[in-house]
């Protein structure tokens, strides 16, 4: 058997696999013998020794052996077959809720059994529910297992014993040949893939169970390294594909750059200037820029984006900025119009709420190039939108968009300017986020992007003081809100719910707004939530910004992008229910002016361990990167990235927190394979991602 056969041979070649079983396996993503080898156990049980019945402990699994002393069908709330099994040390109950006549006849007093199952506490003492069992013939008792027994992930209609049998057959193939090693030996991988797979499917009895349980056995670490390498390669391949197509070279114009800075009214921080230089160098190239700019709330990412847009516009190209919400896109429109009007640059705005003639005018300006700067929501990548010369796309709040959404906007540029250029061009892409990304996630989930960090706040910003108050003192908090508003400041009151329901969240916010208006009649109270029409939301936010509203009751719809310098107090209800990054984003809505600002986290006692950790972290630090690392530790990568971003984070063996120390070596390994062993790239990605490689068609 050649090495290639293990990767190519279908499961239909295995004993007992017909069309029906083959179909069930395919639903689990198993079509080849290699897929079975990488269908790894969740945990292990020890069937290598027989335990005396009198010594078994509840909530542990054990192999026991004895004679049936009594057997009967019992009619209670559910009919069950109950057998009493006895050995020299004691007696235990076996209970079967599903049984047939043949089982009932076989499990009669006097029969000798060997059983395996989890011991539970029942009405008559220790019990095993539906144990695995064998009838023992005194002449030839069955042999005990020689290795730990794997417990595999299962699907409906597939028994654990069937999966074990199939994996055993796959291992037989492995015993007779070598599976392809796809990692270069130069990377110092000192555990062979064959040995790792054999150990993980059939761990010898002396294998440390604590290491297996924690995922820290060298065999697991060997596979984790390869899996992380495959994911990294998937992203590098995406980057390679994008950068094969040319982008327009956008020359830096020092005069226009300084003209823009002169009319700003403030000076860039050193961090803003440094990141701006990174972007400018990228744009002055025919290789498409792919850059992620991270900056904490209020660090000034928008100005950096505006400088990039100017570099595109002075080179006769359009720039497009996509924001996740209408509120944020409207704020960007206001800023860019104020900055660009003195420079004679026309700004177009396109969102879902724009209809009829107004929409047609904007679409025409985008298509004929008279609008050099285009701002909008996801409406920008609809089919009806055509750009004239799109040279730069800017994505704000990357975590709110899926990878495919940002790719869709990039493709808008590849259709533009075809009449005047000999080859298709891709726009440069700048991606911004105010949600700091932990280093491990930045190195894995965003490996296709260059990374810049604005790690400095503009002068004059005062840190927000965070207070933690139990809901029992709600009236005290309301009095604090009254005083702040009477002193001329403005306040947010944020309502949150556990349920992911816009309707329920909106109802809760409406009730809170009515209550606050009742007890604070002297204040102008308004309400904003996700179920309001876009125009209504924008109108309320503009009135709040203009100071016409004292107290704004809102759902988490205000999490991103609202900039009201006079708002210096925020109350977050049920703060323990939100993730750390979301709490940090919300808190960033205050402290945007020079006055002292406060954020009050109202919680309902008692706090869970996680809730307590989140609240404590918020009180102790304003550093977004520390908060992001803690959020990753508490919630895991899937939750932190959000559902739209987790396609590349469905890890089978690796764990980003546990295995973060590998990422530097993974990065080197992936680059080495890409440039020195390109023939291994597809095989590695297919082995670990298969059909779930979300970038395959990018």
Query: Would you state the structure tokens that stand for residue 384, as one six-digit string?
Result: 């009806």
Query: Would you state the structure tokens that stand for residue 328, as one six-digit string?
Result: 């944020």
**Residue 151: helix, strand or coil by DSSP?**
strand
- Count Cβ atoms below 10 Å from residue 470 Cβ, excluding itself: 12
CA neighbor of 503 nearest in space, from 526, 533, 531, 528: 531
Q: Give the model confidence (pLDDT) of 433-483 as tens digits.
A: 877 777 777 777 777 889 999 988 887 777 899 999 999 999 999 999 999
Instruction: With beta carbons less than 8 A apart as the criterion, state whether 310 and 316 touch.
Output: no
d(Cα 607, Cα 619) in Å, to the nearest integer?
A: 15
Instruction: With beta carbons less than 8 A apart as the criterion, state whether 73 and 104 touch.
Output: yes
Domains recognised in the chain with CATH numbers? 3-44+160-209 (no CATH), 49-144 (2.40.50.140), 244-454 (3.40.50.300), 465-621 (3.40.50.300)
CA neighbor of 228 nearest in space, from 660, 678, 680, 695: 660
For residue 63, report the phi and psi dihedrals to the nearest 5 degrees.
-95, 125
Query: Would you state the structure tokens that stand for residue 180, as one six-digit string?
Result: 């392809």
Instruction: With beta carbons less than 8 A apart as the criterion, state whether 413 and 427 touch.
Output: yes
> Residues in the chain with pLDDT < 70?
1-5, 177-178, 188, 398-410, 413-424, 497-503, 505, 559-562, 635-649, 691-698
Sequence-ordered list of residues with C-beta below 8 angstroms from that of 622, at least 6 positions apart, any chain = 463, 464, 466, 587
Residue 602's beta-bridge partner residues? 469
Strands (E), 225-316: 290-295
Sequence-ordered list of residues with C-beta below 8 angstroms from that of 676, at least 6 positions apart, any chain = 184
For residue 655, report the phi and psi dihedrals to the nearest 5 degrees.
-140, 120
d(Cα 369, Cα 299) in Å, to the nearest integer?
A: 31
d(Cα 645, Cα 639) in Å, to the nearest integer?
A: 9
d(Cα 336, Cα 537) in Å, to the nearest integer?
A: 20
Q: Is the sign of the CA dihedral 213, 216, 219, 223 positive or negative?
A: positive
For residue 517, report the phi and psi dihedrals to the nearest 5 degrees.
-65, -35
| pLDDT for 530 | 78
Instruction: With beta carbons less than 8 A apart as the criterion, state whether 688 and 652 touch.
Output: yes
Q: Identify how many contiguous H helices and E strands the chain contains and give both numbers.
A: 24, 21
**Residue 171: helix, strand or coil by DSSP?**
helix
Instruction: With beta carbons less than 8 A apart as the criterion, state whether 434 and 423 touch.
Output: no
Burial class (CB in 10 A: 0-12, 13-18, 19+), 268: middle
d(Cα 610, Cα 388) in Å, to the nearest integer?
A: 51
Alpha helices in 341-488 (DSSP H): 356-368, 403-414, 439-444, 474-486
Cα angle value 248/250/253 (rounded, 5°): 165
User: How many residues comprise the chain?
Assistant: 698
Cis, bond preceding 606 (omega within 30 deg of 0): yes
d(Cα 545, Cα 526) in Å, to the nearest integer?
A: 12
d(Cα 300, Cα 276) in Å, to the nearest integer?
A: 11
**Residue 71: helix, strand or coil by DSSP?**
strand
CA neighbor of 565 nearest in space, from 662, 490, 657: 490
Q: Which pTM does this prediction carry? A: 0.75
CA dihedral 553, 555, 561, 564 (to 10 degrees): 10
- Count Cβ atoms below 10 Å from residue 441 Cβ, excluding itself: 21
DSSP 8-state class, residue 10: B
């Amino acid at each position: 058997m050649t090495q290639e056969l293990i990767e190519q041979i279908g499961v239909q070649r295995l004993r007992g696999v017909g069309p029906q079983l083959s179909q069930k396996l395919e639903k689990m993503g198993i079509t080849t013998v290699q897929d079975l080898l990488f269908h790894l156990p969740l945990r292990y049980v020890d069937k290598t020794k027989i335990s005396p019945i009198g010594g078994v402990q509840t909530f542990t699994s054990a192999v026991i052996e004895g004679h049936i002393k009594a057997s009967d069908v019992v009619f209670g709330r559910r009919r069950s077959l109950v057998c009493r099994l006895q050995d020299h040390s004691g007696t235990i109950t076996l209970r079967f809720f599903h049984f047939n006549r043949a089982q009932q006849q076989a499990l009669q007093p006097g029969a000798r059994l060997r059983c395996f199952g989890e011991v539970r506490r029942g009405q008559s003492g220790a019990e095993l529910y539906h144990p695995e069992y064998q009838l023992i013939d005194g002449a030839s008792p069955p042999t005990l297992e020689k290795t730990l027994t794997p417990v595999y992930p299962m699907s409906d209609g597939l028994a654990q014993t069937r999966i074990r049998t199939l994996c055993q057959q796959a291992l037989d193939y492995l015993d007779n040949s070598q599976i392809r090693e796809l990692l270069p030996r130069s990377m110092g991988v000192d555990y062979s893939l064959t040995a790792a797979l054999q150990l993980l499917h059939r761990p010898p009895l002396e294998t440390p169970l604590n290491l297996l349980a924690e995922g820290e056995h060298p065999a697991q670490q060997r596979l984790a390294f390869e899996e992380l390498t495959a994911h990294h390669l998937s992203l590098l391949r995406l980057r390679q594909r994008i950068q094969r197509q040319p982008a327009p070279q956008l020359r830096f114009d020092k005069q226009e750059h300084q003209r823009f800075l002169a009319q700003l009214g403030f000076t860039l921080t050193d961090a803003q200037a440094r990141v701006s230089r990174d972007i400018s160098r990228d744009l002055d190239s025919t290789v498409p820029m792919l850059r992620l700019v991270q900056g904490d709330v209020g660090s000034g990412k928008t100005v950096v984006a505006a400088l990039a847009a100017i570099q595109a516009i002075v080179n006769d190209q359009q720039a497009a900025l996509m924001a996740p919400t209408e509120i944020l896109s409207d704020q960007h429109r206001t800023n860019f119009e104020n900055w660009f009007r003195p420079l004679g640059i026309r700004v177009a705005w396109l969102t879902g709420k724009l209809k009829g003639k107004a929409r047609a005018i904007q679409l025409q300006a985008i298509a004929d190039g008279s609008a050099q700067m285009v701002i909008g929501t996801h409406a920008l990548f609809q089919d009806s939108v055509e750009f004239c010369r799109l040279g730069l796309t800017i994505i704000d709040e990357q975590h709110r968009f899926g990878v495919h959404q940002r790719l869709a906007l990039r493709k808008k540029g590849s259709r533009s300017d075809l009449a005047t250029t000999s080859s298709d061009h891709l726009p440069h892409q700048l991606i911004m986020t105010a949600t700091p990304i932990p280093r491990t996630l930045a190195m894995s989930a965003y490996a296709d992007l260059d990374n810049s960090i604005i790690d400095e706040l503009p002068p004059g910003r005062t840190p927000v003081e965070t207070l933690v108050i139990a809901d029992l003192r709600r009236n005290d908090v309301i009095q604090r809100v009254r005083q702040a508003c009477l002193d001329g400041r403005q306040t947010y009151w944020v309502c949150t719910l556990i349920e992911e329901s816009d309707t329920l969240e909106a109802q809760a916010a409406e009730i809170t707004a009515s209550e606050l208006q009742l007890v604070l009649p002297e204040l102008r109270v308004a309400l904003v939530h996700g179920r309001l029409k876009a125009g209504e939301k924008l109108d309320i936010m503009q009135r709040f910004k203009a100071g016409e509203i004292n107290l704004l009751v809102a759902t988490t719809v205000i999490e991103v992008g609202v900039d009201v310098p006079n708002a210096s107090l925020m109350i977050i209800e049920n703060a323990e229910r939100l993730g750390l990054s979301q709490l940090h984003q919300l808190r960033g809505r205050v402290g945007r002016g020079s006055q002292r600002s406060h954020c009050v986290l109202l919680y309902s006692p008692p706090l869970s361990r996680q809730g307590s950790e989140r609240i404590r972290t918020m009180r102790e630090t304003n550093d977004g990167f520390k908060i992001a690392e803690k959020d990753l530790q508490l919630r895991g990568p899937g939750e932190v990235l959000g559902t739209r971003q987790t396609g590349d984070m469905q890890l089978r063996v690796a764990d980003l927190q546990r295995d973060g120390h590998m990422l530097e070596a993974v990065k080197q390994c992936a680059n080495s394979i890409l440039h020195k062993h390109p023939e291994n790239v597809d095989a590695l990605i297919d082995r670990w991602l298969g059909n779930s490689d979300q970038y395959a068609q990018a």
